[in-house]
């Protein structure tokens, strides 16, 4: 199955293209977003780490890109999520998973009734111990709240975002080297497995790209040559409830954006759906 998205056109009618991207400051990278939108023509774009309060969100720039629906939930300096859509959305809301009141979740409903959840899971700091490191505790609490929220829910839904966890051995450059590194510890992966079983969810990306194949969506800024070293992790995900798996048409990871200037350390994940009834 294709790993590169067909640019712009080339999609059959009824196909909806959804992209998710941790942009690491939407204001700094607004030109990169515009370039990505021009090249890939997503119908819905979910952003994380926008790092901007809502009254300073660059809504006009997104309207000029063709997104009539601009939904943002941000705060000064940190976190922040946004949904940009060419389709009308309703039932806009957010939830306070983890209980800190940080801006890490935004949800809205697509015209066909499917719920879309955009989430930015806490990174969790450096030490994988909830006692020694409150940021790791917050990450675990956030995940537990997500699990409780989705357990037993029947409604069709799409969950996207920066989960800050790379669950599979092939989702990291070295499983052995990262076993005690936050994002790939057994405890975090177990919680992500619980979350996946809760709805239950289905991994739209591994639906097309075999789990045996290495796949990353993030490369650290701290590598002098990210492309040559290729020490990446798959932290960004698109999940769908099981009933929507049959509507999946294609996925792509826009790895080339990691080389743009200035680059986010994350790259977009793109999923095409056939959402005709």
Partner DNA sequence: ATGGTTGGGGGCCAA
The tokens describing 163, both together, are: 């989960």
Residues 6 or more apart in contact with residue 114 via CB below 8 angstroms:
156, 157, 158, 244, 275
Nearest of 110, 61, 115, 52 to residue 79 by alpha carbon: 52
- Based on the shown chain and the rule CB under 7 A, indicate whether residue 73 belongs to the binding site for DNA: no
CB 169 → DNA: shortest distance, Å? 20
- Cα separation, 121 vs 146, whole angstroms: 10
Task: Enumerate the β-bridge partners of residue 269.
Answer: 20, 253
Per the CB < 8 A criterion, the answer to whether 121 and 165 are in contact is: yes
Question: Is the C-alpha dihedral spanning 251, 255, 260, 264 positive or negative?
Answer: positive
123 binds DNA (CB under 7 A): yes
Residue closer to DNA, measured from CB, 124 or 167: 124
Closest CA to 140 of 177, 77, 95, 182: 182
Residues 6 or more apart from 246 whose CB is under 8 A from it?
none
Site for DNA in 81-120 (CB under 7 A): none
Give the C-alpha separation, 62 to 71, whole Å: 10
Closest of 253, 248, 243 to residue 275, by C-alpha: 248
**Site mask for DNA (CB under 7 A), range 47-66, x = bound:** --x-xx--------------
- The answer to the question of residue 185 lying near DNA (CB under 7 A) is no
Candidate residues 125, 156, 187, 200; the one interacting with DNA per rule CB under 7 A: 125
Task: Give me the least distance between CB of 193 and DNA, in Å please.
Answer: 22
Question: Residue 135, interface with DNA (CB under 7 A)?
Answer: yes
Name the one range near DNA by CB under 7 A: 6-14, 24-32, 143-151, 241-249: 24-32
| Residue 175 found at the interface with DNA (CB under 7 A) | no
Which residues, 142 to 171, sit near DNA by CB under 7 A?
none
Rule CB under 7 A: choose which of 224, 228, 246, 277 binds DNA: 224
Q: Does 79 bind DNA (CB under 7 A)?
A: yes
Stretch that binds DNA, among 3-11, 22-30, 152-160, 245-253 (CB under 7 A): 22-30
Positions touching DNA (CB under 7 A) are 24-25, 27-28, 49, 51-52, 76-79, 122-125, 135, 220-222, 224, 262-263
């Amino acid at each position: 199955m294709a790993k590169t998205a067909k640019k712009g056109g080339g999609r059959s009618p009824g196909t909806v293209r959804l992209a998710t991207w941790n942009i690491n400051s939407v204001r700094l990278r607004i030109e990169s977003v515009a370039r990505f939108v021009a090249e890939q023509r997503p119908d819905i774009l979910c952003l994380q780490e926008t790092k901007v309060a809502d009254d300073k969100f660059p809504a006009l720039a997104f309207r000029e890109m063709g997104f009539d629906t601009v939904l943002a939930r941000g705060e000064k300096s940190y976190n922040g999520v946004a949904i940009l859509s060419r389709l009308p959305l309703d039932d806009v809301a957010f939830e306070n998973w983890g209980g800190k009141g940080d801006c890490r979740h935004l949800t809205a409903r697509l015209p066909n009734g499917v719920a879309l959840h955009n989430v930015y899971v806490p990174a969790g700091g450096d030490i994988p111990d909830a006692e020694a490191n409150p940021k790791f505790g917050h990450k675990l609490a956030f995940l537990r709240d997500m699990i409780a929220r989705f357990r037993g829910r029947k409604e069709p839904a799409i969950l996207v975002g920066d989960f800050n966890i790379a669950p599979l051995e092939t989702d990291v450059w070295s499983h052995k080297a990262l076993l005690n590194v936050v994002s790939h510890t057994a405890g975090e992966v177990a919680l992500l497995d619980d979350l996946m079983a809760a709805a239950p969810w289905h991994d739209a990306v591994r639906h097309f790209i075999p789990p045996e194949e290495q796949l990353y969506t993030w490369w650290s800024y701290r590598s002098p040559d990210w492309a040559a070293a290729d020490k990446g992790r798959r932290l960004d995900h698109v999940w769908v409830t099981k009933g929507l798996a049959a509507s999946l048409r294609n996925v792509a990871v826009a790895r080339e954006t990691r080389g743009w200037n200035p680059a986010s350390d994350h790259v977009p994940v793109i999923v095409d759906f056939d959402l005709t009834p």
